[in-house]
Chain A
Amino acid sequence: MPAFFRAVLHSYSMLFFSQHRGLAALLLLATWAHPWAGAAGLAAAALAVGGARLGGFSREYTDLGAYSFNALLVGLALPLYFAPSAGLAALVGLGAGLALLLSVALGGWLGGRGLPFLSLPFILVMWLLLLASRQLPLVPAEAGGVYWLNDAYALGGPHLANAARWATEADWPPPAATYLRALSAVLLQDSPWAGLLVALGLLWHSRIAFSLSVLAFGGAWGLALLAGAGVGGVGGVGAYDLGANYLMAAVAVGGVFALPSLGSYGWSLLSLPVTAVLLAAAEALLRPLGPAGLPALSLPYCLTSLLFLYVLLLREKPGNWLVLTPLQRYSPEANLYAHLAGLGRRAAALAPVPLALPFLGEWRCTQGYADGGPTHQGPWGQALDFAITDKEGQTYEGSGRTLSDFYCYDKPVLAPADGTVEEVVQHLPDNAIGEVDTRQNWGNTVVLRHAPGLYSQLSHLRAYSVRVRPGQAVRRGEVLASCGSSGRSPEPHLHFQLQATPAIGSPTLAYPLAHFLASDGSLKGSESIGNKPDCLCQSALTLHTATVPRTGELVRPPQPQAQLSQALHLPPGQRLAVQLASAPEAPPQVWEVFTDAYNARYLRCHYTGAVAYFEQDEAVFQCTAYYGSRQAWLYWFYLAAYRVPLCYLPQPRAVPLPLSVVRRPWLGWLQDVVAPFFQFVQPVFTLKWLGPDAGPAARQLQLGSRVVVSYFGQKQVVQEAELTIADGALTSLTARRGAQQLALTFAAANS
């Protein structure tokens, strides 16, 4: 479908913050319940999309329908106030253009604050046109809603009028009818049938959004009864054209801008009384003016949503109860599942300053972040201590009475990230074992500056072991000094902390390490595991991302496997020619790597148009999203290489996949409804190295992967695959899905 029509269609689904084309089609259908409105809306949306493309505004927003849905609303609303005529057509064109301009302008103004413009342009345009039309009575005014039946009579005689009456005023149960009419009011319609289409579309698009809308309606209904206003009263949900405000505010607050959760549902329930007050206030302000008044339209919804979102943005300590959507995926489910799959956490690993462990080899974290440790207290709680231990958990060999008996003594200490040397102290003597220097608490210390407000401090270094000078630039991994035992250090160890200020001994700052390998380091020792060698603990190593070592953990920096890193290092512009192994003569599908406006990389299949987003740094290749057919070869690859640690780990920890891989609709929908509260369907991705680590000179590597969905104790294998890498390039993928088999070969494609 050409991008233009796609964008017009997205203007419809965007009314519900969606890119779902099924929903869009149903909404489009629903708008034709009032044919003039349907036509005007479509025309306005098309004009706005065309204008946005011609005007050179953000292509991405245009394609999402973000610049055109306000024009659509204007187009839908104008026939309610003006009789069909050439003047109306001109007004629709004018309104669409104005809505586009306001959308772009408000988008630029509010976007900088992280806020959406919602339907504010629509409200402004409508008010402007309604006010202006009193001075310029070019177009005959008409209350469309009132004369709707007359129109029907004029068009189709009494039959059509009766049918239309039945359609709008049939004996629906009052709550259901009111709910559906409220939904249809989002499209400025008043028809339970149109509302039914909208409801079906919404359910199809998102179970979470649908359940939120029902919840909000129930809440508003209950609120109206409590207030004694009666459901039909002013400001109540019964006023169909205003009831939509409750629904939309609740969906926006609880499901779109915050990740759906118990907290967000509570937050969205809290929005109901606020919407009610705003509604009543808007009505009180605008309606008494009589004919000179203006309709409140969706103003209460916009104000409530913006208020509830903005205060969340201004929190100093966001906490875990109400998490704002980090990256809008235009579906509450997609947002939530990406978060549950840990894709949000990866963003932290790609923080501006990725932090590595400040040493090589395996060390034990002897004191972690303020978890009851003896010396990391209060403002200095977010610090880490490390020492080297042997398999028995000892930090020294021999008698342990001299510094050199300690494994970590004199071992190199590295820069954890690129930066400049801020401060160096190295004249303090190393203490004898068991003694501490409480006057010079930090001992010999190097402070590095990594970014404004981000400093790292490494302390208790060996006397006169520092190799860098203040002001010198250092790269990550460069040797700074040697581990020692100066300052408040009874035995050699390394103190590592991040801080916001350069002074030695500044209060600490919690900051995650980008990646590290860890094993629990429990001191089972060689005794209790019998003849099984301790070294097999290698398999218990897990790659941790964007987190901090805990006390007692054995940690080491990940060492990239050169071949694997090279094979999955997919720079923008790289093209892969993918072929069926069984048909090497057939023309290949070409996959090409692109970056989007946010510098996120994705593989795009030129043949199917499927897109797989991925992130890749020195330790992990991780797919983050997939858009396209599930039969596309790219989807097989997406499932086969969902998360590949780029170092040799015989069996990396299983990782959750987004729930979107679940293929059973009933199961998926059931999970969607309860997803904000708990997850019972769990798709899991596991990876396995087939064969040994042949080191950097390996001729060939093989990785096996499995995607399994488990629910109610059942396990269903979605896909099993093997990836082969040879000479630093991806060479083949073989995979099975049930009875389906696929064998692909890869080669570098010439552009």
Chain B
Amino acid sequence: MTKLPYERPTIRKLTAGPLSKFGPRAGARPVAELEGVPVPELLARFGSPLFVLSERQLRRSYQAVMRAFGTRYPQVQLAWSYKTNYLNAVCRVFHQEGAWAEVVSGLELEKALGNGVPGAQILFNGPGKTRADLARAAEVDAVIHLDNADELHRLLEVAAGRPHRPRVALRVNLDAGIFPQWDRFGFNLENGQAWQALQQVAAATEQLDLVGLHCHLGTYILQPAAYGVAATKLAALALRCQQELSLPVRYLDLGGGFPSQNTLKGSYLPGPDAVPDLDDYAAAIAEALLGAGFRVGELPLLVLEAGRALVDEAGYLLGTVLATKRLADGRRATVLDFGVNLLFTAYWYDHHISPVRTFSEQTEPTVLYGPLCMNIDVVRESIVLPLLAAGDQVVVHRVGAYNMSQWQQFITLRPHVVLLDLQGNPHIIREAETLEYLQQPERVPAHLQG
């Protein structure tokens, strides 16, 4: 019989309150491997911490979204939201699956072009497009989603003298019954701004080619019905546009904002139980568009700028326990080798974190701290975990969205990002940063040298 690993003793307060309806087993189950590859092997090979992405899950998520919407509405197109994770390998997986690109800056536009996306399949969102950005977008024939009147006027100047009219869509914000209402992107529908802008576009039809309408409700929207309301309003606007301005609207872009199964901070239920099924969103949108009164054969294309719903599930962050300690108030604290510098989404979510090896059934609540010498560096305020010791490894789930684009190079360097392909072979898709990389753009004035 092999020797059992040592576990330190722990003292827990006995709470004789009402029984939890979720049953006695609250502790996290161990996750020893990802896509069949042992976690310790990955960490030994690529170092700790380590971001891991599963290509299989990326594709499965994409196909699940397409299945949910494509079996309810005849024409559906996903546009991969670049800002969610613009590692080229990730983008290319989605483009291979058939996704267009949704970009929000000149940088992202160039990234999408570099990934081989034809200009016509790039949707250029964002409230901050410079004149140069607009010129570049017009040049490569991307669709410009107009955000404000200044942008419209700037684009009219850019469009002058071009062989083709730039293709545009109008960003619309509207009251879909959710709070807070995101009214900062695009033109408001209810106060008439959007119609006014459409009239301006119609007047400038010699210079601009209106192809779509766009609406982004917000982020992590948990009410599918709100999408139904938005789709109804947008479809009504499209029909009015078609009838009164003779501008046929070819696509309706209902933006993104679909949740993943992460648990929002302050949520009573865990994400998988609280978040509506994607099918509910699809049903709400399809129902609204099919019933909107478009003529048979003239249904507009439905574009969705899914980001988080496509990538979150496929991302894992692997890390190692550096130390455990007891805080002054008696709470247990665990220091990990990654913090909010890498796990930016720890500000929003109570991430699901699993131990790698098997422990006894004894658990204890603990605070998870990162390695930064900053008070804000808290990964979880409180989580029930087995009795971790220094050197134990953990897996953070659903970290694919935003972390690999919003992470910070702060105090430490950013680690490798590895993609597990369909056979489970790991591929480094972003090298760990080095001191040279960090200092390469730095310049030291002569008087400080030597």
Chain A residues engaging chain B, CB cutoff 8 angstroms = 359-363, 388, 390-391, 397, 404, 407-408, 410-412, 475-477, 479, 526-527, 530-531, 533-536, 538, 557, 559-560, 562, 618, 691-692, 694-699
Contacts and interface: CB of A to CB of B under 8 A. Distances in A.
B376 to A, nearest CB: 37
B120 interface: yes
A631 to B, nearest CB: 35
CB-based closest 6 A-B pairs: A361-B71, A697-B211, A361-B70, A694-B120, A696-B250, A526-B422
B97 A479 contact: no
B156 interface: no
Contacts, number: 99
B72 A695 contact: no
A558 B398 CA distance: 36
A410 B141 CA distance: 40
A699 B142 CA distance: 11
A618 B73 CA distance: 17
A534 B59 contact: yes
Interface in B203-239: 211-212
Contacts of B77: 695
A219 to B, nearest CB: 56
Interface residues of B, number: 42
A360 B74 contact: yes
A412 B72 contact: yes
B250 A526 contact: no
B326 interface: no
B135 to A, nearest CB: 18
B251 interface: yes
A694 to B, nearest CB: 4
Interface in B51-76: 56, 59-60, 63-64, 66-67, 70-75
A380 to B, nearest CB: 26
A554 to B, nearest CB: 12
A391 B72 contact: no
Interface string B73-117: 111010000000000000001001110100000000000000000
B423 A527 contact: yes
Given A359-B71, A699-B164, A477 B296 contact: yes
A527 B98 contact: no
Contacts of A404: 277
A531 B70 contact: no
B279 A410 contact: yes
10 contacts: A363-B71, A391-B59, A410-B279, A526-B56, A533-B93, A559-B74, A559-B75, A696-B301, A697-B143, A697-B251
Interface in B390-446: 421-423
Contact of A475 (B75, B98, B277, B296): B296
Nearest to A529: B422
Contact of B290 (A391, A479, A534, A691): A479
Interface in B36-64: 56, 59-60, 63-64
A748 B70 CA distance: 36
A697 B250 contact: yes
B71 A412 contact: yes
Contacts of A412: 71-72, 286
A153 B286 CA distance: 93
A89 B212 CA distance: 78
B118 interface: yes
B142 to A, nearest CB: 11
Interface in B162-215: 164, 167, 211-212
Contact of B71 (A388, A475, A533): A388
B271 interface: no
Contacts of B66: 361
Nearest to A392: B60
Contacts of B300: 696
Nearest to B118: A692
Interface string B271-313: 0000001010001001000100000110011000000000000
Nearest to B143: A697
Contact of A360 (B72, B120, B283): B72
Nearest to B69: A361
Q: Report which residue of A408, A527, A694 has the largest number of chain B beta carbons within 10 angstroms of its beta carbon.
A: A694
B121 A695 contact: yes
Contacts of A533: 59, 93, 96-97
Given A479-B290, A691-B118, A697-B211, A535 B71 contact: no
Interface string B309-344: 000000000000000000000000000000000000
Nearest to B167: A697
A78 B422 CA distance: 86
B96 A390 contact: no
A531 B421 contact: yes
Given A388-B71, A477-B296, 12 more contacts: A361-B71, A391-B59, A410-B279, A412-B286, A479-B290, A533-B59, A535-B98, A559-B74, A618-B297, A692-B121, A697-B167, A697-B301
A237 B368 CA distance: 107
A695 B71 contact: no
Contacts of A560: 297
Nearest to B76: A361
Contacts of A698: 120
Contact of B167 (A360, A410, A691, A699): A699
B141 A699 contact: yes
Contact of B250 (A363, A397, A407, A695): A695
Contacts of A695: 77, 100, 120-121, 250-251, 301
A527 B422 CA distance: 7
A728 to B, nearest CB: 10
Given A391-B59, A538-B98, A360 B251 contact: no
Contacts of B297: 560, 618
A536 B92 CA distance: 13
A244 B149 CA distance: 87
B246 to A, nearest CB: 14
Nearest to A479: B290
Nearest to A404: B277
A396 to B, nearest CB: 12
Given A526-B56, A560-B297, A696-B300, A531 B71 contact: no
Contact of A696 (B60, B67, B75, B97): B75
A390 B73 contact: no
Nearest to A526: B422
Given A410-B279, A479-B290, A538-B98, A699 B71 contact: no
A677 B147 CA distance: 68
A388 B67 contact: yes
A285 B375 CA distance: 121
A618 B56 CA distance: 36
Contacts of B67: 361-362, 388, 390, 407
B71 A411 contact: yes
A725 to B, nearest CB: 14
B59 A535 contact: yes
A373 to B, nearest CB: 23
B280 to A, nearest CB: 10
Contacts of A479: 290
Nearest to B212: A697
Contacts of B211: 696-697
A692 B66 CA distance: 19
B54 to A, nearest CB: 12
A407 B72 CA distance: 12
A410 B279 CA distance: 9
Nearest to A691: B118
Contacts of B423: 527, 530-531
A637 B409 CA distance: 61
Contacts of A362: 67, 70-71
A536 B251 contact: no
Contact of A390 (B63, B70, B286): B63
B70 A360 contact: yes
A536 B96 contact: yes
Contact of B422 (A408, A411, A531, A699): A531
A476 B296 CA distance: 9
Nearest to A534: B59
Contacts of B290: 479
